[in-house]
Amino acid sequence: MDGTTTGVAQVDGVRLHYTRAGSGPLVVLLHGWPQTSRCWWPVLGGLAEDYTVVAPDLRGYGRSDKPTTGYDKRRMAADMAGLVESLGFGRAAVVGHDRGARVAHRWALDRPEQVERIAVLDIVPTRETLRRTDATIAAGYWHWFFHLQPDLPERLAGADVRGYLEYFFERWTYDRHALTDEAVDAYVAAFSRPGALRAGFDDYRATEADVALDDADFAAGRLLTVPVLALWGAAGLPARLPTLDIWRDHSAHPDQVTGAEIAACGHFIAEEAPEALLAHLRDFLPKPA
């Protein structure tokens, strides 16, 4: 893409690849599963007009290293903290989608002095997802429980990586044209690399540790202290939950939690509704000097 550079930072022994564009206050974009930092391409240029934008591949994803440990969200958030520090920034606004939003949530809880604010796309907190699992949630998030199993997901999904990923790209979108053939090819290639499927599943297998952290914080009254923007697609599963109320329950300042449902949009907001996402983010992100 024009006006972008790529780089590698080694954080705690893990090489993290990232794309960078623009100048100004730092905005970090964190992707989810089954994607990579490529998912942000439709909004990267627009944000880079006013901000320094960094879109990393999370530990285990894309071109970043795929270690066999470290997929709890505290460790993955520490990766991002180290990346920001290595780039010479003290603070960042963070936008996270799917698994990346779970990393953003933990990052803001653990390092509020570093995370200025977070936007979370198409999720509710991990503990709430598990607490609210009924027949509807289980049917929508069946893959989560499948990915928790040892060894089996790699064997079954590995037999047809494209078929497995395309199942989600078809069923989690409202506008199936939004995920181009080129984008899908890139994601299939990324998850066909050695260790990539296992690493993505290990992200889910960290659920027990993640929920334990979240439950302990919530029980102790340790809530988010930074402003939160929650966005979800009208055709996505969070649309069936009181998503905004849930995020307010997890904030020490509920009046600083705003959000909206994006019409005619499924799970992949950055690709399905990039202009709507940019409009919301421009209102929410700190104004450049």
Which positions are annotated as active-site residues?
Answer: 98, 267
Q: Which residues contact 142 (CB under 8 A, 6 or more apart)?
A: none
For the purposes of burial, counting CB atoms within 10 Å of the CB of 3, is it exposed (0-12), middle (13-18) or buried (19 or more)?
exposed
Beta bridge partners of 19: 6, 55
